[in-house]
Chain A
Amino acid sequence: MKTLLKVILILLAAGIVAGGFWLVVNNTSLATAGSGQGPGEGLGRPNFEGGAMPERFDGRTPPEGFEGQGSGAGKGQGPGGGEGHSASLWRGLTEVAGILVKLTIVIAVVLLIQKAVAWISAKRRPGRPSLA
């Protein structure tokens, strides 16, 4: 029973946060952001949904690596971004490696900051005089 109450509280907190996001999106320009654009185009990502070739290729054969079935492999692909993803082991593993690199950098930066703060605190503490 206690666990159920805790779960309800957590979901309530999540609901409040979700409601906040809903209000923000619906009351700002985000609600109509990119309404004239295809998915991902506003973020510089090509849209290959439904196998349609982008017009920029003008009927020519696209270079290798461009797939017609929703690859969405544009630049700056975030962890959750893009739609119409088809599974690709190589691309997926590359994405995982990229995420691990980003995580490592963030962790290293935070640990360095912690060490720097600890070093500065140790320097600032005056040495206690010994009692003769």
Chain B
Amino acid sequence: MSAKTNLALDLIIFAVFLVVASPSLTGNTIHEWLSVAFAAAIVTHLLFHWKWLVKVSALFFRKLFHQSRLNLVVDVLFFIAMTGSIFSGILISKDVLATFGIQLDGIGQGWKLIHSQTSDLSLILLGVHTALHWKWVVSMVKRYIMTPVRSLFRPASSRPLAAQTVRIESDK
């Protein structure tokens, strides 16, 4: 899986997160269905980074660079918060469950509170997760977005000329 594909997926997930976390923008129905799609995107993200997950988990209690340990702890907490948010969201959903003909009785207001709190926690952990990978994000954005965009606006005169062979003839 190339870094470009990774960056594209991460940017899409981030954009979807922003939309999902703003139910006022989309209304309740789209918020619920987009969240289901978001859950699938998270699973895809985890699949993309499976090898790292397995490697760091196996070495967590052995000699391991502290940054990797911190990354894993933050990622696990993020996973728990997101799972809580999505699970509680499904339990309190109106449209998603109704589409499948499921009606849950006895779902208390506690689930709404869990949904709200885990969503807030997910937002904070997303910030921490992004900050811990900030260097990667910046370098990838520079390489795959900013440099190609800048090259479009570079004037023709400053663009490097194609190499041409020059033949010099000496007068004898």
Q: Which of B80, B109, B134 contacts A39 (CB 8 A)?
A: B109
Check B83–A14 contact: CB distance below 8 A: yes
Q: Roughly how many angstroms separate A117 CA and B160 CA in the complex, as a whole number?
A: 43
Q: 1/0 contact trace for A94-108 toward B, CB 8 Å? A: 111001101101110
Number of interface residues of A (CB under 8 A): 55
Q: Which of B20, B28, B80, B131 contacts A107 (CB 8 A)?
A: B131
Q: 1/0 contact trace for B106-119 toward A, CB 8 Å? A: 00111111111111
Whether, in the assembled complex, A132 has its beta carbon less than 8 Å from a beta carbon of chain B, the answer is no
Check A80–B126 contact: CB distance below 8 A: no
Check B110–A33 contact: CB distance below 8 A: yes
Q: Roughly how many angstroms separate A91 CA and B126 CA in the complex, as a whole number?
A: 22
Check A107–B27 contact: CB distance below 8 A: no
Whether, in the assembled complex, B24 has its beta carbon less than 8 Å from a beta carbon of chain A, the answer is yes
Q: In the complex, which residues of chain A have a beta carbon less than 8 angstroms from the beta carbon of B114?
A: 21, 25, 30
Q: In the complex, which residues of chain A have a beta carbon less than 8 angstroms from the beta carbon of B112?
A: 34, 39-40, 81, 83
Closest to A92 in B: B25
Q: 1/0 contact trace for B91-121 toward A, CB 8 Å? A: 0101000000000000011111111111110
Q: Roughly how many angstroms separate A33 CA and B116 CA in the complex, as a whole number?
A: 14
Check A37–B123 contact: CB distance below 8 A: no
Check B110–A107 contact: CB distance below 8 A: no
Whether, in the assembled complex, A131 has its beta carbon less than 8 Å from a beta carbon of chain B, the answer is no
Whether, in the assembled complex, A17 has its beta carbon less than 8 Å from a beta carbon of chain B, the answer is yes
Whether, in the assembled complex, B60 has its beta carbon less than 8 Å from a beta carbon of chain A, the answer is no
Q: In the complex, which residues of chain A have a beta carbon less than 8 angstroms from the beta carbon of B134?
A: 107, 111
Whether, in the assembled complex, B43 has its beta carbon less than 8 Å from a beta carbon of chain A, the answer is yes
Distance of B83 from chain A, by nearest CB (Å): 4
Main SS class of interface, B? helix
Q: 1/0 contact trace for A78-91 toward B, CB 8 Å? A: 11111111111101
Whether, in the assembled complex, B21 has its beta carbon less than 8 Å from a beta carbon of chain A, the answer is yes
Contacts A30-B114, A34-B108, A96-B22: A79 and B127 contacting too (C-beta < 8 A)? no
Distance of B162 from chain A, by nearest CB (Å): 42
Distance of B46 from chain A, by nearest CB (Å): 5
Check A102–B24 contact: CB distance below 8 A: no
Q: Roughly how many angstroms separate A100 CA and B110 CA in the complex, as a whole number?
A: 27
Interface residues of A (CB under 8 A from B): 3, 6-7, 10-11, 13-14, 17-18, 21, 25, 28-35, 37, 39-40, 42-43, 73, 77-89, 91-96, 99-100, 102-103, 105-107, 109-111, 114
Interface residues of B (CB under 8 A from A): 18-28, 30-31, 43, 46-47, 50, 79-80, 83-85, 87-89, 92, 94, 108-120, 122-124, 126-128, 130-132, 134
Which 5 A-B pairs give the minimum distances between C-beta atoms? Answer: A92-B25, A106-B127, A80-B119, A30-B110, A79-B21
Q: List 27 A-B contacts (CB under 8 A).
A: A11-B43, A14-B87, A17-B84, A29-B110, A30-B108, A30-B110, A32-B108, A33-B108, A33-B109, A33-B113, A43-B116, A73-B24, A78-B123, A80-B89, A80-B115, A81-B119, A83-B28, A86-B27, A86-B28, A87-B24, A87-B26, A99-B21, A99-B22, A106-B124, A106-B127, A109-B131, A114-B131
